[in-house]
Amino acid sequence: MESGNNEMVPQWIQEIEQPAALVSYIYRTCQRYFAKELATYNLGWGHFAILMAVNEMDGPSQDMIARSRGFDKTMVAKSVIRLEEEGLVQRVTDAHDRRIKRLFLTEKGKTVFPELLQIGLTLNTAMFAGFGKSTSTQAIEDLRKIALNVSKL
């Protein structure tokens, strides 16, 4: 894996005209950051994203996580198995529909969660270094608008 901190990269970033290429670069670099930071937890970015979803949603099923986040179902299924092995999430059969397994953080998951959240917050802060408050808000709104645009592709 290449280091993100390469003298040729900033030059390319300055020259590139293709926003999709910038998004790709940001994504890959964030993913590398997560890989490094999450290694001690034996987790990758996919696991992290699913933990965030489990925390935000009210006992979601795997299928709900996949559909709401646009994730591949197989990726979610595999990640949930790992998260269970790590003792961070548990499956609970829905009280009204026994076919549905709902996901919740375990006690260990709840304990570890703030540390993981901090990894994400540190990344967000780094992403917007040098942005003012209003310009970072505007940039996030622009990202949201781009995300909505591409969701229609």
| Interacting residues with a copy of itself between 54 and 93 (CB under 8 A) | 64, 66-73
DSSP state of 39: G
The site for a copy of itself, by CB under 8 A, has a size of 65
CB of 14 to a copy of itself, least distance (A): 7
**What residues from 7 to 36 belong to the interface with a copy of itself (CB under 8 A)?**
8-14, 16, 18-30, 32-33
Nearest approach in angstroms of CB 42 to a copy of itself is 20
User: Quick check: 126 binds a copy of itself (CB under 8 A)?
Assistant: yes
CB 65, CB 53: distance < 8 Å = yes
Q: Toward a copy of itself, which CB reaches closer, 39 or 147?
A: 147
Residue 148 CB, shortest distance to a copy of itself, in Å, is 5
- Which of helix, strand or coil describes residue 90? strand
Interface ranges with a copy of itself (CB under 8 A): 1-2, 4-6, 8-14, 16, 18-30, 32-33, 45, 49, 52, 64, 66-73, 120, 123-124, 126-131, 135, 138-140, 142-153
